[in-house]
Structures are given as C-alpha cells and as structure tokens.
Structure 1
C-alpha cells in the first residue's frame, strides 16, 4: 500500500514540476532557517549545563537600594559567600570569581615571548571543585591549591609554549597592578561545554589577589561573583528565606549607618547566560526575549512555507478531483485517501529537509557571521538533532498536508466524476485566508526591520552630550607603559591633525568601576547620593566636547576639584547656577571635594539607561588612569595612523601598536540590537521570498484556470494592462486586508521592544504605511509576471478546442 502511495507521489512530482519545485524549495529554505535558529537557541541555553551537579550550583546576586538608587547586581561583597558556607550546613562549598578590575589586558612573558591577553579572572582555591573543566594537564584538585598559581586555557598555552610542556613553568604577568611571577599548574579547554565564565587564564586569589580575598566589607565593594554549591536535595528557596536574618546578623549596623537596603538572592547557574538585567556581568549574556523573538521568527518562516504547500495543494484539487472519484468508486475509503495525501505531504516535507540540510551546511559560515555564533557541524553527531529533524518532517508534513488531505478526501464520488463537486468548506476561501495570514506575517517583519533600523539610526545620530566622532583611544596595561604616557601625549600633540589629548581612568561606553556616596555639609551616609566617576585631567572636557552649564573647567593643579553633571546637582538639591564652590563630602573624611563646575548631562552609558549621577575628578598624575583619548581632524586616517604608530614605536618599542575608535566602542553597547537587526533583515528577506514563491504559484494557477476567459476578453478587445489589473485585483485586496490585520499587532510588538530603551523613537504612521506599500509592491511584482504572461498569450491557442 505505502509503496503505491510513494509511486503516486513520485509521478505527481514529475507531472507538476513547477508546483513541486515551489513546494520543495519553499520547505527547504524554511527548514534551513528554522533548524539553524533552533540550533542557535539550543546552543545559547546549553551554557553551564556540563558542570557536575549543575542543578545544585547557584550564583549569589545582590539587590541594593541606596538613597533612591536601585541596583540589581550579579556580584556580592567578598565576605558574604564564605560566611554563608560557615553558617548554613546546606551549603557544600563556595567559590568567588573576581574580574581583574581596572586591568584591560595582561602582558604575559615567558623567555622571549610576550603576549597580551584580556580575559582573566582571579579565583578561589575551590573554583574547580564547583566548576567542571577538562584538564589537559594538571588536576582540578590541586590546580589552585598553592599561592601564585595560574591555569591556562589551551589556546593561550599553545601560543606561549608551543609543543613544550607548560606544567611547572614560571610565567611573568605584567599589568597595572605590577609584575608577578606565577607557576603554571594546569591547562584546560572547554570541550565539555560552554561556560559564562570564559577566560584565557585563571589566577589564584591566594597570593596574587590576597588583598581582595581578605576584604571584609559587607555593605559596599560588591565586586565578586560568588557561587554556592548546595548539598544534594537542599532547597535554594528555603536557603534564600534565611538571608535577611543572616544579613542583619553581620551587617545591620553598617547598613543602617549608610541608609542602605541590601538583599541577597540565588540565581541558578544554568540561567545566567540567558538572563539580562544584572549590572556588570562576568561574560556576554543574551536576553531570553531576544531568543524568543528568534524562535518566533523560525516558527513564522516554517508556517509561511507550510502555507505555500497548503495553498498550492488545494489550488490543484480540481485537477485531482476525478482521481479521487475513481479511487472511491473502486473501493478506496476516506481513510486510505487521507493516508495517500498525507504521505505525499510527508514525502515533500522529507525531500525539503533532505535538501535543506546540505544547504544549511553550506550556509553555516554566513549564518554564524550573521548571528555572531559558532555553531559547527558537530551538531550532526547529536541524536537530538536527528530527532528534531524527524519532528520537523512530521509537523511540517502534518501541518502542510492536513487540510488538502481532509478536503480532497471529502469529495462525493458521483458528483466528482460528473464534474460537479463542491466542498462544504470553500477551498478558495481557505486559500485567501492563508494568503492574508502569510502577508500579515511578512508586513509585521517588514515593520520590525523599519523600526529597528530607525532606532539604531536614532542611537547613532543622537546627541549624547559629547562628541564621539574622530576620537582615538589608546589603552595602557602595565606600569612600564603608563610611566611613558605623558611623553606619548606630548609627542601626539605635535601632530597637526591632533586637536586635543586627555588622560582618563574611563572611556564612555564602558563600565565604570568607581562609585561611592557623596553628601553636602551637615549630611551623612544616609543622605548621600551614589555617583559614578572618572578621574581625569584638565583636557577632558575640551577633548570630548562636553558643554558646561555653570562654573569653570579644570585648571592645572586643580587638586580636590570635581565637575559634576546636572543630574547629580539636582539629586543633591543644588541649583546648577550656584553649585560651583560647594563642598562635597564622602564616608572617608580625607576624600572631600569642591565643585569647580557643572557640566550638562551626557550619556556616559548606553541609551538603555537613564543618565545617572556622575562626576569628573581632577588628578592629572593618577597612576590608575590608563587611557588616552585623542581628538583628531583628519580625512586620511591611514597617513595619520602611520604617524602615530611611528611615535608609538619610539616610545614603546616592545609593545604592539594598539588603538580603538571611540564611536565604535560606543556602538558596541548595542551589539544585541545590531545582531537582531541583521537577523531580522536576512530572515525577513527569506520569509518574503518564500511568500513570493507561493504567490507566484497561486498566480500561475489562477491564470491557468482563467485561460479561456482571458482569451475571450482579448478577442472582445480587452487590453493587456486591463487584463493584468483584473488578474491582480484579488491579490491586491488580500494584501490590503493583511495590512489592516498586521498593523495593530506590529505596533504592539514594536512598542514592547522599544520599552527597553530609555531614549527611543516614536512609532510614526509612515513606518506602517511604508511597510504596507512594500508588501503591496512585492505582491504586485510577483503576480504581474504571471498576469502579463497570461494576458499576452495568443487567444487562438486557448480557444481552438472550443
């Protein structure tokens, strides 16, 4: 029986080549997109699932409320995790992971090799008791047991040692903290799985980070990523309920003195990579809403491909009506007919998947570049993927073939053979509804493209309160290079293209690691306002193009002077005009300031966030200021950079020339949105292509059905444009209905997405009108090809059999 089904299916494919091609290519492209997106989402959710007993591992997060400011932090104060381990028997082990704060890169030296690396963490000796890594050399039990130990990732170990065994070798690590000799005690790779803690190497807190390890501040200093491994069967919820009393026990007096509210929570380790909203993450995270959007796009594309199949199958129903009648007359039951048509659907779906899989393999490099991912062919070795592919075949085959199967099998045999048959459900009505749904989805995706493009354009062109254009950033990572920064700045100022040079601890668009509360005379910590700050010199304001609202800029030797922003002045209750000259106090009586000026608010951080209290602190000789920003005016950057490189080699002969453009770094804050824009642009194009394939097939069928009508009209004098308009009118009406349905849905979806930005565009009517016109234009272009072809056909050939 099934052999007969497949033989019939094969004959139909050969007999209806155009419709078969449209169906198979549509399903193949849909499957390619759907499968890749599913693989991408599965990959993002796979982080940290390889750790042993991962369900018992939690990160300690912090909620902080301080004088009106709310902070949801991925970090905690250093002593909290050890104290939890001591007080609660349900905690099996703890470990702390500390980013190398203020150190952008490390210079690692071994013999005659010197390598810069950025990704590094300081970790407790218990780190490898909680986190599972594959040790190529060394042992997780002893890797961090001794002070001044270093564990290298395999790529870094290969760079430094090549084929030489790194175990026991001494590496010199040079950074802004100084120089230190460390012993290699392990080499690891990430072959077991991906982790949110991704590093080129790990340093021992014991010894190298002793000051951080012994820090005993309970309220502030929230700079450690703290992890707890619970005993098997222990309840995280029950443990969390004990934290308020625990904090009162150790920190109640200090919290009250500071006017601070602090809460600790447990976050499952497997959810870290796909949860956004925490301040200063250990690694790159991806928003779960972003992944849901991708899955929705995958489903929409597959549904659009299925709609094509359903539409073309029902459109061809009249061609197979007599086949159904004959089959019924000779004894075929409705069940066997349904199986026949479903087998055809499953066969086409299978062929589509089999074609889509090699297409996916070929498109993998482009798709990875599009999503900034690293999906590899190794997915073919996972049985889950083959189960997923089987599921795609079954679901697609059932979804795409269900209506044709039940519709065709319901025909009355006698009426069909006589040529007079009608279904109780209008096939043309179903087709119209599906076309409307298909184009409504396309219009929603087009609106998404336009809104995201305009929001990104708004971000790029918005006045941030400073000028990021034509700014070069040079960062220095070691004491040796920092000692020569002033000489390098002086040399740069001799270049005619250089208009300004400033030294600073921070760069706009990057996280600020320095913040504390400030208050006015007569106040205290409970009335303080938490502010972020950057230490800089007298050239920062001019170089960055920041406007002053009152007061003055820094002068040379302006020790103890600060410039605050308007938001900080307002939060302190100061008038912008009278604030200059006011004294600011901190918890440390030796660190008080005088306001020299008030600068206009500018967006130091991304437009996702509101402008927060901020100030510049004058200290031209600050050794922690490892960045130089250069304001240039040049139309030939190649020549300018070659001049700068020559100066660099003179001042830093042993250090690689390294620079960045400030505007590029600012845009990096919106990498998720940029990636989303690329994905939606590409996959929307694919969705529209699939929709057009289906519309092309329907237009061809419509023209074929009306061949004689068109011929008669031509004989009676109808013009080609008139015939084209007649054949296109039905489809134009469907697109118009699609637009009316899609507009409110698209407005709601895009309005929700824009809520993640504090500064955002308004949803203008022209965006929706343009999306509708584009969809209409695409539909008319697709249909016109077949309409023109039918209209210019020779009517004699169509009527000669009459």
Structure 2
C-alpha cells in the first residue's frame, strides 16, 4: 500500500510540474532563509557558553545617578571586585578586565617584525581562573604568575613569530602609555567558542599598571569590567540584594561627598553579548530584540512558503477528487488518505531541504556579507543543525500538508464520482485568507524597508552641529610617534588641499570616559553637573566648523580655560551671553575659567540627546595623540599619496594609517545598517515566494475559467477586459491586506524609532508607497497568466461543448 501511495504521489507531482516546481522552489528558498537565520541567531546566543561554570559567572554592572544625568554602565569602580571576594562567601573567584583607555593602537616589535594590534585588554592574574580558553602554547594556570607578562591570540603570535612556540620570548609593547618589554607566556585560540571579550592580547595588570590595579576610588573611576565566579550553590539574586548595603558600607561617605548615587547589578555572563545599550561595553553586543526580529522573519518566510503549498494543493483538489473517490470505494479509510497526502507534503519538504543545503553553501559569502557574520560550511558539523533540519522537515511538512490532507480526505466518494466534490469547508475562503496573510507580511516588510532607509538617510544627512565631511583622522599611538608628529602635522598644514587641522585627545563618536562634575561658586561637588570633555588646541572649533555663541576661542598659551556648550551653560543656570569669564569649580579639584560658549553638537550617537560638554585647552597639543585634518579635494588618491610621502618622511617606522571622520561616525549605526540590509534581502525573498504562490493561483484560476473566458471572447470581450476580470479579485485581496498591515507596520516602526532621540516622522506616503508597490507586484504577477489566458484561442476550450 505504501508503494502504491508513493507511486501515485510521484506520478501526480511529475504530471503537475508547475505545481511541484512552485512548491519545491518556494519551500527550498524558505528553508534556506530559515536555516541561515537559525545559524546566525544561535551563533550569537552561544557567546561565552564555552567557559567552565559559565552559568555561575556574572559581570558587575553599575547604574549611576548624578545630579544632572544618569547612565547604565558595563563597568564598575576598581576596588569593588576584591571587596566582594572578601565580604561574600558566595564569591569563588573574581577578575577585572580593563580596556587600554584612549589607546587604539599597540605597536608590537620582535626582532625586526612590527605589528599594530588594536585590541588589548589588561587583566588580573586570576583571569584564566574565571574564563576558559584553549591554549596552543603555555599553561593557563601559570601564565600570569609573574609581572610584565602577556598572552597572545594565535593569529597575532603568527604575525610576529610564524609557526614557532613564542613562550618565553620578549616582545616590546609600545603605546601611548608606556614602552616596555613583556614576556609572552601563552598563545590561545578561539576554538572553544566566541566571547564578548575581543582581544588580540591579554596583559597582566601586575607590574604593568600598578596604579590602575590598586585604585581605591568607590564613587567614580568606573573603568573596570568586573567579573565574579560564584560557588555552584550560591544564589545570584540573593547576592545582588546584598549589594546596596555592601556599597553603602564601603563607599557611602565618598559617594555622598561627590553627589553620586550608584546601584550594582549582577549580569549573567551568557547574556552579556545579547544585551545592548550599556555604556563602556566591550565587544559588539547585539540587541536580543534584533535577534527576535530575525527569528520572526525566518518563521514568516517559512509560513509564506507553506501557504503556497496549502493554497495550490486545495486549488488543484479537482485533479485528485476522483482518485480519492476511487480509493474510498475500494476500502481506503480517511486516516490512510490523510497519511498519504501528509506523506507527499513531507516528501516535498525533504526534497526542498536537500535543495536548500547546497544553495545555502553557495550563497554563504553573500549572506555573510549581508549580515557581517562569519558562518562557514562547518555549520554542517553541528548536530543541532541536523536536528533543526529534521524539525524543519517535520514542521513544514505538517504545516503545509495538514489542511490539504484533511480537505482532500473529507470528500464524499459518491458525490465525487458523480462529479460533485464540494466540501463543507470553504477552500476558496481559506485560500483568500492565506493570500491576505502573505501580503500583510509583505507590506509590513516593505514599510519597514522604507522607514529604516528613511531613518538611516536622516542620520547620515542630519546637521550634527559640526562639519563631519572631508575630515581625515590620524592617530599617533606611541610617545615616540607623538614626538615625531609635529613635523608631520606642520608638513601637512602646508599642503594646498588642507583648510584647517587640530590636535585633540578624542573625536566625536568615540566613547569618552572623562565625565567629572563642575559647579559654580557657592555650589558643591554633591550638586555638580557632570559633563563629557575633550582636550584640544585652539584650532578645534575652526576645523570642525563649530559656531562660537559668545566669548572668545582659545589663544596659544591659554591655561585653565574651557569652552562649554549651550546645554552645559543652561544646566549651570548661566546666560549664554554672560557666561564668559565665569569661574568653574570641578570635582577633581581644579578651577577653570569659561572662555566662551559654543553651539550644541552631537558628540555621540543620535540615539541620545546632546549632553553637557566642555572643551579643555591642551597645554601641550603635541601630546594629545590625535590629528584631525579638514581638506578640500576631489582627488583623494593623489592627496593621500602626498600625505603618505610626508608620513614616511617624518614618521619612520610607523605604518601609514588614516580614517575618514564620516566613516567613523557611521559605525555608530552598524546594527541599524545590518538590520536594513537583512530586512531588504529577506523582504524581497518573502515577496518573491508570495509571488510564486500568486502566480500558481493565477494559473489555476485561468485554467478553471478557460471556458468562461472563451465565451466572453466569442461575445466580443477585449484582451484588456479579460485581464481586468482575472486580476480584480487578487487586487481586492491586496487592498484588504493593506488595510490590515498599515496599523501593524506603524506600531512596529514607531517602536523601533523610539530608540533614537532624533528620528523621522512616520508619514502616510510610506504606507502608500508600500501598498502601491504591493499592487504593482500583484498586477505584474497575475497579468502574466491573465494575458496568456486572454490571448488563447477560444476553439481549444469550446470544441468539446
């Protein structure tokens, strides 16, 4: 019997090639998308799960409330970790990880080999007691037993040492902090799994930076990433409830004097990578909402493909009605028929998966470029992928085949054999509902494309309050490079393409840790206004084109002066015109004089409102480490060639590295750009699959109404009239879809835009454009079949009448 079912199913599928092709291709494309998104999402969810006792490791984060602002930080003050180990028996071990603040490039030298490594982290000697890494060379238990030691990532070690064992070798580390030899004690790779702690090298704090490791400040200096490993029986929630009293006991008086209120939290290690929004975070966290959106897109695409199967199967029920009737007459039961039709569905689903796998392998480079991921063919070695594939076959087969199976098996044998195979279930109504659902999803996705694109365009074109275009950025990573930099800067200044240039400690868009408080005479530290600040020379505002609202710019030789933005002036209660000359007192014990007030500009992402900001005068601009050059040129290759020649002349021994300011700022919105690319690609796929189903239904509709069309043509109907006749029902469904999709799309996009302090308004034209595109796509798809039916000769359909 099974053989009979298989043969009849195979014959039917082979005979109905269009039906089979649409279903198989649609399911294959849907499965491909579903599988890739599954690999992408699970890859992000697996971050840090490879560490031993990962479920018992937590990062200590800080919520800081100041008189003028508040923020949630991924960091904590330096002494918190050791104090928690001492006070709480639940803490088995702790470690701290400290970014090399303000240092973006580390020059490594070994026997004539030089290499720039941007990712370096300082760690306690207990780092590898908390975290698990696979060591190619060295012993993780002893690598940090001595001071002045470092552990290199495998690819970094290979650039310096080739394939030799580097353990015991001395590498000179040169950066803006210091220049000293460090002993290599280990080499690790990332074969165990990905971590949110992205680093080319880990450097032991012991000896290297005693001042950082021994800092005793509780109210500020929130620059350490603090991790605690708890004993297996410890309760993290109970421990977190003890932290307010712990913080008050150790730092209460100090925080009260500084006007700081802090709350500590325990963040599970396995959730760090999927928790975005914390200031001073390491790595590149992704939003869990973003991952949920991807999963929803994958499910919807697979559902759309299943809908095609259901619609085409029920639409072509007439082709199988007599088969069902005959089988029932000779004794086939309802459940055996259901099993047969579900079997066909599972067979098509299996074929689709077998087609999807090689397609996915072939498209991996494009998809990885789209998502900025690094998924490779090795994903097939993961048993969970095969479990997922089996689940896709079963779920897709059941979802796609259930309704057709129950629909076809419910036919009454006597009525079918008499030519009447109507069923109490309204198949046409179900088909219309499913088509509406498909286009609701498509219209929502098209609206998403339009809104996200509009927001990204708004971000890229918005006036940030300073000139971000044609700005070239140069960094001098070591003290020796800074010593040589003035000659390079002077030579660049003389180029005819250079309009202005400035030296500074940081650039807009870069996270800035300097955020101490300021207050006026008669105030106190507890009520000070915390602000972000950058140290720069007198050319900063002219290089960036920032408007001076009152007062005067810096002059060479100025000392103890500052320019403040309008937001800080307002929060201090100062009139912008009268602010120059006012004395400012700081929470770090210095006194400053306001030289002038500058216009507000967006120092950070447009997700946030303008913050209080202060520009400090650089007493020694040469030591700031960053040079910004404002140029006017249409021939950048020629200009950069000139600059490279000057660099090689004055900066010997240092690679020529530069960046464009606007590109640096655009990186702040990398997650939004990735989401935009993903939505664009998968929306097109969803629309394509929907059109496949629409094409099949239109072909079936034209076939069913062939005699009606022929009679209308004999009676004088025009081709355009017949196309209109066959298209209007589908266009009505798209209009209904638009009415349902518009409010859902508005709600979803409004929620997404709420993360931005500066955003576009959702306008009616966005929905109108999405609806119009859906109408055009539908009309183009249906018209192909309508045109074919309209131009056919009536004799073919009427000769048997």
Give the TM-score taking structure 2 as reference length. 0.99
Would you say 1:602 and 2:628 are equivalent positions? no
2:398 matched residue in structure 1:
398
Mapping of residues 54-73 of structure 1, within 5 Å = 54-73=54-73
Shift of 1:622: 4.5
1 CA distance for matches of 2:452 and 2:4? 51
Residue 620 of structure 1 and its aligned partner are, at CA, apart by 4.5
Kept in 2, the 8 Å contact 1:538–1:620? The answer is no
Q: Is the contact between residue 123 and residue 205 of structure 2 (CA under 8 Å) also seen in structure 1?
A: yes
C-alpha separation between the residues in 1 aligned to 2:274 and 2:455? 23
**Match for residue 315 of structure 1?**
315
- For 1:264-319, what per-residue CA distance to the aligned partner results, in whole angstroms no more than 9, with x for missing partners? 11000000000012101111100001001101110110011001000100100111
Cα offset, 1:163, TM superposition: 2.4
- Going from structure 1 to structure 2, the CA distance change for 1:757 and 1:304 (only over 3 Å counts) comes to same
- The 3-state SS of whatever aligns with 1:474 is strand
1:532 is matched with which residue?
Answer: 532
Aligned position for 1:659: 658
**Structure 2: how far apart are the matches of 1:532 and 1:172?**
34
Map Cα deviations across residues 212-239 of structure 1 (whole Å, 9 max, x no partner). Answer: 0011111100000000000111000111
Counterpart mapping for 1:338-353 below 5 A: 338-353=338-353
Quote the residue 2:153 is aligned against: 153
User: What is the distance in 1 between the residues matched to 2:622 and 2:49?
Assistant: 42
Whether the 8 Å contact between 2:503 and 2:622 is mirrored in structure 1 is: no
How many angstroms apart in 1 are the aligned matches of 2:564 and 2:3?
81
Does the 8 A contact of 2:74 with 2:278 survive in 1?
yes
Contact 1:442 1:684 in 2 (8 A): yes
Measured after TM superposition, the shift of residue 400 of structure 1 is 0.5
In the TM superposition, 1:696-775 aligns within 5 A as 696-775=695-774
In 2: Cα distance, 1:622 partner to 1:141 partner: 44
3-state SS of paired residue (1:331): coil
1:37, 1:334 → 2: CA distance?
Answer: 38
Mapped partners of 1:356, 1:272: distance in 2: 33
Q: Secondary structure at the match of 2:516?
A: strand
Following superposition, the deviation at residue 619 of structure 1 comes to 1.0
CA–CA distance in 2 between the matches of 1:624 and 1:198?
28
Tell me by how many angstroms 1:624 deviates: 4.8
Partner of 2:103: 103
8 Å CA contact retained: 1:176, 1:624: no
In 1, the alpha carbon distance for the partners of 2:681 and 2:235 equals 45
Partner Cα separation in structure 2 for residue 642 and residue 687 of structure 1: 47
Instruction: Name the SS of the counterpart of 1:585 in structure 2.
Output: strand
Deviation at 1:322, TM superposition (A): 1.0
1:784 paired to 2:783: yes
Whole-angstrom distance in 1 between the partners of 2:611 and 2:6: 67
Match of 2:144 in 1: 144
Q: Which residue of 2 aligns with 1:257?
A: 257
How big is the alpha-carbon RMSD for the aligned residues of Structure 1 and Structure 2?
0.9
Aligned to 2:409: 409
Quote the offset at 1:3 in angstroms. Answer: 2.6
Residue of structure 1 in register with 2:83 after alignment: 83
Matches within 5 A, 1:101-180: 101-180=101-180
- List alignment gaps of at least 5 residues for structure 1: none
Return the alpha-carbon distance in structure 1 between the equivalents of residues 622 and 533 of structure 2.
16
Name the CA distance, whole Å, in 2 between partners of 1:150 and 1:451.
48
1:618 positional shift: 0.6
- Taking the aligned partners of 1:553 and 1:724, their CA distance within structure 2 comes to 72
TM-fit CA distance, 1:378: 1.6
The normalised TM-score by structure 1 is 0.99
- Residue range with higher mean Cα deviation, 619-628 or 596-605: 619-628
Report the Cα distance in structure 1 between the residues aligned to 2:4 and 2:520, rounded to whole angstroms: 89
Contact kept? 2:85, 2:91, Cα under 8 Å: yes
Contact kept, 8 Å, 2:63 with 2:72, in 1: the verdict is: yes
Helix, strand or coil at the partner of 2:531:
strand
Mapping for residues 559-708 of structure 1, pairs under 5 Å: 559-589=559-589, 591-622=590-621, 624-708=623-707
Larger deviation, residues 377-386 vs 737-746 = 377-386
Structure 2 unaligned residues grouped into runs of 5+: none
**What CA deviation, in whole Å up to 9, does each residue of 1:62-109 have, x standing for no partner?**
011011311101000000000000111111000000001111110000
Q: How many residues align?
A: 801
- Deviation string 1:456-498 (CA, Å, 9 cap, x unpaired) is 0000000000010010000110011111222211111111110
**Distance in 2 (alpha carbons) for counterparts of 1:22 and 1:407:** 20
2:649 partner SS:
helix
How far the C-alpha of 1:796 sits from its partner, in A, is 1.2
Distance 2:587 2:663 in 1: 37
Cα-to-partner distance string for 1:514-552 (whole Å, 9 max, x where unaligned)? 120000011111110000100000100000011122222
Question: Secondary structure of 1:515's partner?
Answer: coil
Within 2, Cα distance between the matches of 1:513 and 1:626? 16
Query: Displacement of 1:587 after TM fit?
Result: 2.5
Q: Provide the rounded CA distance (Å) in 2 between the counterparts of 1:721 and 1:280.
A: 64
Provide the C-alpha distance between the structure 2 equivalents of 1:289 and 1:548, rounded to a whole number of angstroms.
41
Other structure's SS at 2:530 match: strand
Show the counterpart of 2:302.
302
Determine if contact 2:94/2:228 at 8 Å carries over to the other structure. yes
Q: Is the 8 A contact 1:62 1:76 kept in 2?
A: yes
Greater Cα offset, 613-622 or 260-269: 613-622
SS in 2 for 1:484: helix
Q: Secondary structure at the match of 1:387?
A: helix
**Residues 119-173 of structure 1: per-residue CA shift (max 9 Å, x gap):** 0100000000000000111111101110000101000011100022201000000
Give 1:234's aligned residue. Answer: 234
Task: Look up the SS of the partner of 2:737 in the other structure.
Answer: helix
